[in-house]
Structure 1
């Protein structure tokens, strides 16, 4: 899988345990796309509608870096399929958020990634359909 998922985190982010998702700001997918380090300086990654601020790890998520493909989008489908980029055989390559075609094992992978991100990055918003 990507990165150092099985390594111990260097810093565990505990504030996410206190986050009320319903009280967070909401972003549309097009608004989320602007948090890419270029349009806006922050680097945001969404997973299953939860948005994480990965700006502190720009050495992995910044422009030209390995995981920049996840920035500015809800990347749940990419993570579930264990891909940095979707191809035609994966369905719509622009649809990085739709999990409906994932099997149970792939959905578990997405949930595992959410837990990974929760331990490392602050939750800053949720994604809404608009």
Structure 2
């Protein structure tokens, strides 16, 4: 799997580049096709970030990531 830095991830925020990516537990997921991540935001969360710590406040479990394609590793 390809590796990406935090800086590279931060550019995939739905604003700077067309891709919308998020990271969870070191894996980067492409959420571009999700209507819930339109324009790079999902409630009070922003794309282009590692959301591992924020999952504990979410109304869903980590199983939600099974819906998305893992496209790389965060280094």
Cα distance, 1:60 vs. partner?
1.1
Cα distance, 1:64 vs. partner?
7.1
Aligned length: 74
Cα distance, 1:47 vs. partner?
0.2
For structure 1, list consecutive stretches of 5 or more residues without a partner in the other structure: 1-23, 84-108
Cα distance, 1:30 vs. partner?
1.1
Q: Identify which of structures 1 and 2 has the higher relative contact order when contacts are C-alpha pairs closer than 8 Å and 6+ apart.
A: 2
2:27 equivalent among 22, 27, 50:
50
Once the two structures are superposed, residues 88-108 of structure 1 have per-residue CA deviations (whole angstroms, 9 ceiling, x without a partner) of xxxxxxxxxxxxxxxxxxxxx
- Output the TM-score relative to the length of structure 1: 0.51
2:65 equivalent among 113, 117, 123:
117
* SS of equivalent to 1:75: coil
For structure 2, list consecutive stretches of 5 or more residues without a partner in the other structure: none
Q: Does 1:76 align with 2:52?
A: yes
Assess, with a 3 A threshold, how the Cα gap between structure 1 residues 43 and 68 changes in structure 2: closer, same or farther.
farther
Which protein is richer in helix relative to its size?
1
Contact kept in structure 2, 1:62 and 1:68, CA below 8 Å: no
- Output the TM-score relative to the length of structure 2: 0.83
- Aligned CA RMSD, in angstroms, stands at 2.1
Which protein is richer in strand relative to its size?
2
Larger gyration radius, structure 1 or structure 2: 1
Cα distance, 1:63 vs. partner?
2.4
- Give the whole-Å Cα distance in 2 for the aligned partners of 1:28 and 1:64: 18
